[in-house]
């Protein structure tokens, strides 16, 4: 049951990856066409929302980032809780190597960025941008390039991307909280506490949880803290126990029912509203500025070096074992796929460079360019590994 839920999550993420890429490509083409003013007019159009005393006006792009993306992080938080308590990561022996790989995927890209930006106060704070991995696109490339590779490889990639994205978002959300309104933050904490206590009520109506999520989000957006953190925190409060004998738990119900909408609607919409930028006024040499160079090299070199290098180190030190039936060449290919930052690095970069339009545009270009190259290299290595399996037979591994 646990393995089926894990693989179902992987398949949904894989299926949405191509849609994400198509949405981003459409945004880039539209932003550089004669109809570009309509694209930018759409994402910059302001939409007011008023519910009682709550009133807020944001652009379409900001609403997608601040109101829809937290739903993705809600599902991600629930998936992380499920995998650790009941899923593929509940075994310490299975958990050790992918966690070591995830640690490498966090440290090496961040250090790569800092090595190029440490003396640049304006951009040094963006070190978390190359730490994130776009799970959907990475899974899609793996499925297209090498569909017959063993399932443990997909679960390894899921673990690394899940851990790295959560840490990157939490770290960056905390670093760029801005002016924190402590009363609103206390209200969010109180609402989270009530959600956690409600977990003891096994037959609590679904509507109570939905209302609780909205209340936490409303307090958080008023507090100045990233609403992505509210999504993750809410996901961790959902109980994993069954509501009644023979029924799914609240967590698996929410996760299974919400994930397809997130994968096929929320993430593509975010890709569409965040990936579009005009080439006019920008040249390739701008990628050599410290911020985009740090992000690009962090994703393209830091990620595979960190993921593969720490996996190898963990195996040599006998801290963890390679996933069953998986080769080192396949793990290297997954290391490059983890360098596909795309929507997640765009999201983290939005938080880090939101007040610097030039750096934000440069970083956006670096994320897209590095993600495309990482996808090509990772896909080529995995396709090579699959052909090698076909020649030698799976029994040889």
pLDDT score for 281: 66
The residues, ordered by sequence, that sit 6+ positions from 147 with a Cβ below 8 Å of its Cβ are 386
- Cα–Cα distance measured from residue 25 to residue 365, given in angstroms and rounded to the nearest whole number: 12
Specify burial of residue 148 (Cβ count, 10 A radius: 0-12, 13-18, 19+): exposed
Determine which of 92-96, 146-150, 382-386 has the lowest per-residue pLDDT on average.
Answer: 92-96
Q: What are the start-end ranges of the H helices in the chain?
A: 2-31, 36-44, 60-63, 69-85, 92-117, 135-145, 151-175, 182-198, 206-223, 227-237, 250-261, 267-275, 290-297, 303-316, 328-337, 342-353, 357-392
Q: What average pLDDT does range 350-358 have in this prediction?
A: 77
Residue 335's pLDDT band, with cuts at 50, 70 and 90, is very high
**Alpha-carbon gap, residue 133 to 142, rounded angstroms:** 14
Distance CA 34, CA 56 (A): 32
Residue 163 CA to residue 100 CA, distance in Å, equals 11
DSSP three-state, residue 209? helix
| 301-317 average pLDDT score | 95
pTM summary value: 0.79
Positive or negative CA dihedral for 14, 15, 21, 24? negative
Number of other CB atoms surrounding residue 56 within 10 Å: 16
91-100 mean pLDDT? 81
pLDDT at 234 over 70: yes
Length of the chain: 397
For residue 226, what pLDDT is reported?
79
Q: Which residue has the tokens 């609607």?
A: 265
Domain ranges in the chain are 2-176+226-396, 179-225
Residue 55: band (very low, low, confident or very high) from pLDDT cuts 50, 70, 90: confident
Classify domain 2-176+226-396 at the CATH topology level. Na+/H+ antiporter like fold (1.20.1530)
- Residue 203 in this model has a pLDDT that exceeds 80: no
């Amino acid at each position: 049951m646990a393995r089926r839920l894990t693989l179902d999550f992987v398949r949904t993420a894989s299926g949405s990856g191509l849609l994400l890429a198509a949405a981003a490509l459409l945004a880039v083409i539209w932003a550089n066409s004669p109809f570009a003013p309509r694209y930018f007019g759409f994402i910059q159009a302001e939409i007011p929302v008023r519910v009682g005393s709550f009133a807020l006006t944001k652009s379409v792009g900001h609403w997608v980032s601040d109101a829809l993306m937290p739903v993705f992080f809600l599902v991600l938080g629930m998936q992380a809780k499920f995998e650790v308590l009941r899923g593929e990561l509940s075994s310490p022996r299975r958990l050790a190597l992918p966690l070591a790989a995830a640690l490498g995927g966090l440290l090496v890209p961040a250090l790569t960025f800092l090595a190029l930006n440490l003396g640049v106060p304006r951009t040094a704070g963006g070190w978390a941008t190359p730490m994130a991995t776009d799970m959907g696109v990475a899974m899609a490339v793996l499925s297209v390039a090498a569909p017959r590779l063993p399932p443990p490889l997909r679960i390894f990639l899921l673990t690394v991307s899940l851990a790295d994205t959560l840490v990157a978002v939490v770290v960056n959300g905390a670093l760029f909280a801005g002016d924190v309104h402590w009363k609103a933050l206390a209200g969010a904490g109180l609402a989270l506490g009530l959600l956690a206590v409600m977990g003891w009520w096994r037959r609590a109506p679904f509507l109570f949880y939905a209302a609780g999520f909205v209340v936490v989000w409303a307090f958080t957006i008023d507090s100045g803290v990233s609403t992505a953190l509210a999504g993750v925190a809410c996901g961790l409060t959902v109980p994993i126990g069954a509501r009644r004998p023979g029924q799914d738990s609240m967590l698996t119900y929410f996760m299974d029912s919400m994930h397809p909408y997130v994968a096929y609607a929320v993430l593509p919409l975010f890709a569409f509203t965040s990936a579009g930028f005009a080439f006019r006024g920008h040249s390739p040499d701008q990628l050599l500025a410290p911020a985009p160079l740090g992000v690009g090299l962090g994703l393209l070199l830091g990620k595979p070096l960190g993921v593969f290098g720490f996996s190898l180190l963990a195996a040599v030190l006998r801290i963890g074992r390679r996933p069953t039936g998986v080769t080192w060449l396949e793990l290297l290919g997954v290391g490059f796929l983890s360098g596909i930052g795309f929507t997640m690095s765009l999201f983290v970069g939005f938080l880090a460079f939101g007040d610097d339009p030039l750096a934000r545009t440069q970083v956006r270009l670096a994320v897209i360019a590095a993600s495309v190259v990482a996808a090509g290299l990772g896909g080529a290595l995995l396709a090579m590994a699959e052909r090698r399996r076909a020649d030698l037979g799976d029994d040889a591994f």
